Structure 1
Amino acid sequence: MKEFIDHILRFANLNKQQTDLLVSKATSLELRKGEYFSEAGKIPRHLGFVLEGVFRFCYYNNKGEEITNGFADENNFITDYPKFESSVTASEYVQAVTDCKLIVFSKKDWDEISNTILDWDRVVAKVYQKCLVETIDKRSSLVSEDATTRYLSFIEKSPMLSNRIPLSYIASYLGITQQSLSRIRKNIR
């Protein structure tokens, strides 16, 4: 829980009563590798903060192929936030890539926090903006660079993830085949 409170305090000056409220609304959750935190076609009912482990965000394209479009590890939030906020069905899956431990807030409790802590919406907006900027930064290279450069950028921007994620997920995220990724890895060693 300390990790979560420390993370939030980077974006807001909360007093003890406010942090105690956050702690009182949080529950712990453990997911095994392969389990889903949330699923496409269902309304996301929880927001999570990763304490241990790695999650991936994925969806199926119109050809039925599974596409990984992001990862989240320790000290990151997970949910399809706009869908969580508006209580509409999610368009992607959030799946545990490793065994994971997280702190979870229900939609009801998250709304209660928002209604109780003055300027909580501003804090959430700052956290969300940081997440968006990081996501755009990581994804922008995937559009304009060749496969080798995309892989090297991924390793540079997410060095702790590359050894924790199966190559098939990394390849999907980079928009290349697993065979191409294996060749690239072999050539840069």
Structure 2
Amino acid sequence: MKELIDYILQFGTLNKQQIALVESKMREVELQKDEYFSQAGKIPKQVGFIVEGVMRGCYYTNNGEEITRCFISENSLVVDYVNFEANTPSSEYLQASTACKLIVFSKQDWEELSHTIVGWDTIQSKMVQKCLFQKSRKGPVISQDATTRYLEFIKNYPSLTNRVPLSYIASYLGVTQQSLSRIRKNIR
């Protein structure tokens, strides 16, 4: 819980009573690898903070191909915020790429913090902006060759190459797993 409070305090100040209220609304959740935090076709009902592990945003094309759009790791919020706020079904999945430990707020508790803590909306807005920026972080440019895309991935996500399945990385880069294996072999 300390990690989340430290994260929140980067965006504003809270007194001890406010921190106690935030802590009273938190619950710890563990997801196994491949479990979903939120799913396409369903309305997102929670906001999470990743204490340990890596999650990914993904979707399926019309022909059933799985596409990884982003990776989200420790000390980050995880939520499909646009659909969470609008109370509309999501178009993508948020899935655990590794076993994950999260601190989670229900929609009701998240909104209650807004109504109770003066200044929470400003803090929340800054946290959400950072979350949206991380999720929208520029993906690989398909016009670049695959090796360049992989090198960019390593630069943007240095800690993930040995933590998440190669199939997810290949999907993110828009290459086959075999191509990714060749690229990795040639770089070493």
Q: TM-score, normalised by structure 2?
A: 0.95
Aligned length: 188
3-state DSSP of counterpart to 1:142: coil
Q: TM-score, normalised by structure 1?
A: 0.94
1:59 and 1:75, CA in 2 relative to 1: closer, same or farther beyond 3 A?
same
Structure 2 gaps of 5+ residues are none
Map 1:55-134 → 2, pairs under 5 A:
55-134=55-134
Map 1:145-160 → 2, pairs under 5 A:
145-160=144-159
**Using the alignment, how far apart are the partners of 1:135 and 1:42 within structure 2?**
19
Structure 1 gaps of 5+ residues are none
**Using the alignment, how far apart are the partners of 1:181 and 1:63 within structure 2?**
22
**Using the alignment, how far apart are the partners of 1:126 and 1:145 within structure 2?**
32
The residue that corresponds to 1:169 in the other structure is 168
What is the CA RMSD across the aligned residues, in angstroms?
A: 1.3
**Using the alignment, how far apart are the partners of 1:137 and 1:46 within structure 2?**
22
Q: Contact 2:78 / 2:131 at 8 angstroms: preserved in 1?
A: no
Identity %: 61
Spell out structure 1 runs of 4+ moving beyond 4 A.
none
**Using the alignment, how far apart are the partners of 2:34 and 2:71 within structure 1?**
14
Deviation at 1:136? 4.1
**Using the alignment, how far apart are the partners of 1:39 and 1:134 within structure 2?**
19
Task: Give the structure with the higher percent helix.
Answer: 1
